[in-house]
Structure 1
Amino acid sequence: MAGVRLDCAAYLPILKPMSIALDLGQVVGVIGPNGAGKSTLLRLMAGLIAPTSGQVVVADLPLTSQSPRWRAQQIAYLPQFIGDDIPFTVREFVEMGRYSRESAFAQGSSRQEAVMAAVAQMGLERLLDLPLAQISGGERQRAGIARCLAQASPVFLLDEPIANLDVFYQLDILSRLRGLAADGRLIVLAIHHLEFAMRFCDACIALDHGAVVAFGSRDEVFQTELVQRVFHIGARRFADPFTGDPRLSVMGCLPAKDGEEREES
């Protein structure tokens, strides 16, 4: 499997023409202000919506031409929100990740081993038999990532996976995602935290008003001028004094230009 290639003329009215190729073994951040099209791009890449023209290609096959089961075997998708009205326990929810690999009625040891390994990775053992409605939003987010782990797909598409998490679990999950990429998976995640994107992502796709304004390594994307133009904030790059790795420091909001309004959607 070579990874994911996206060639589409548009997904009206949100996304503009783009062509992107992604390889396994990396963490790719999707960054941009609210309403830029990050969630739509991930849904497009997951095959949940079809482009107006063009195609998403996974393992050299057009994604929308394949069965839902095949897509699930290739791609694990985590939406931005996991509601508290889902009538399942944490265990049952994580088990759903195995449905593309085996029958929903299978009760073999391989299923339980995969589920328990995923649950342990996310530190959810004590919550296993609690309904999703009785756990916090951050815990539901971790349960969603555990379901992706149980699914064992080579591509993870995660829509703001560290939203609703405290700083410990933000760092913990991002570190785990880097480990998954090191094992050969492609991790694509929408992320608002620019400092963490600079720290944990190998490459980034920067969106603004539905257009890809930058795509490349973190060094190529996190240029001061681009960050200021897209996010309307001051930012400064520096070398970590302990590791020497590049870091980004957000300095504050920039004043709007005459006639310009900051979108809040």
Structure 2
Amino acid sequence: METMDEYTSFVAVGDSFTEGMADQLPDGSYRGWADLLAARFATRTPGFRYANLAVRGKLIGQIVDEQVEAAAAMTPDLITLVGGLNDVLRPKVDMGRVQGLLDEAVERLSPACGQLVLMRSPGRNGPVMERVRPRMEELFEHIDGLAARHGALVVDLYESPVLADQRLWGVDRLHPTAEGHQRIAEAVWEALGNEAQHDWRAALPPHVPPRWLLRRGSDLRFAKEYLWPWIVRRATGRSSGDGLPPKRPELLPYEPS
């Protein structure tokens, strides 16, 4: 697929993955792959504009209701849409409804921008992933079909072995580390036809697993700080993103910090 030679504006749509969670800056804010991608473009293109409408915890229906129309109205050169995984991770999910909402989002966003980018999100190792893997692959197959019909670009992170390495995932086991986000930004940059600056597919050095006691300590911390609060939110119908605004709601010139 041909891509635009020059991008002057970018709007990111999605959930915590695109908000940048786990790539935390000293001031407590999150950076993430979308910010890193915008920084690349801003370095090359003076006046480059960027908005990030993604908010943690959002389901695909909320993304459609709260972000899609706003993103389309900005008519940027580039839009990225990554959503649906929060739905897939829930114990029960209506995959037909998720796919229909993705259709709605793509049908609205694709004609509103120069290039729409979708994503086959990274996999990771572990029992939770094995449980939801069939749903993820069903979702990604639908995304491939959507992209083919609407001229969107798909960045395939799911088939990358290195992005399944737990060392590239934060202590919450749900969001990439700073290096993980850097590799994802590089993958999108390269998929858009730019010369790669780093090999995002490069394997990590050999890893010696920590001792059993350290692993159990890590498991207990994960359960206390992340798993149990997540279960409580699911049981009470709440989301980590309730009441939170997007970090960059307007399409404005971007000056990387």
Specify the TM-score bucket, using the shorter chain as the normaliser. 0.3 to 0.5
In proportion to residue count, which structure has more helix?
A: 2
Return the TM-score normalized by structure 1.
0.34
Q: Report the structure number with the largest CA radius of gyration.
A: 1
Return the TM-score normalized by structure 2.
0.34
